[in-house]
Amino acid sequence: MTPDAGTGTKEREGRRMLWLWIVLGIVGGLAAIVVVLGLTQPRGHVVSARATYSRPPAELFAAISGHAEHAKWRADLKSLELLPPQGDKTVFREVTGFGPVTYIVDESVPSKRYVTRILDESLPYAGKWTFELEQKGARTELTITEDGEIKSFVFRALSVFFSKTATIESYLKALGTKFGESVKPEVVSRGES
């Protein structure tokens, strides 16, 4: 072995260690950004969107509260199971691409207002949806308000990159499609609590 052979091996090893430290620094930096971003975002948010339909409030309310039929018109829904009620309150479990979520109906005022709340406390998020129907001549305006909480700072960090009203807008469009209507949801509030 020549004297230069050992030097070349040490140089290669030094370059590998440099690259290892660079990669570790980048990963550590990204992790720090996620932590800081997640901890600086609020846990709670209140957002809402609305759409108008050529249907009476009673017909829209029946579709919203008729959980057993949701899988027929909501493309995001893989399945829905009605569970035993809690007292006089309806309980159901939806399965979407994000997994199963159990809900309870906290309030039901036919043709006016419907409130569902996430019952699962083990999820990294919580909250409720309030459906408010208002007759506008021969049409009905439906406003959905999400009063949500993102418990995990990692999910809060990632939420910066996604619309908090996307699921509401998707629901409003699907409801329109159920009735053969093409609706364009309007975001009312992107606020935070």
Q: Which residues pair with 125 in a beta bridge?
A: 150
Q: What is the domain count for the chain?
A: 2
Question: What pTM was estimated for this model as a whole?
Answer: 0.80
**Structural Rg of the chain based on CA atoms:** 25
3-state secondary structure of 103: strand
57-106 pLDDT tens trace:
999 999 999 999 999 999 999 999 999 999 999 999 999 998 999 999 99
Domain that holds residue 19: 1-40
Q: What is the largest CA-CA distance in the chain?
A: 94
Domain of 142, CATH number, reads 3.30.530.20
Pinpoint the alpha helices (H) of the chain: 3-40, 57-65, 70-73, 153-159, 166-178
Do 25 and 61 belong to one domain? no
| Same domain (yes/no): 121, 177 | yes
pLDDT tens digits for range 42-54: 778 899 999 999 9
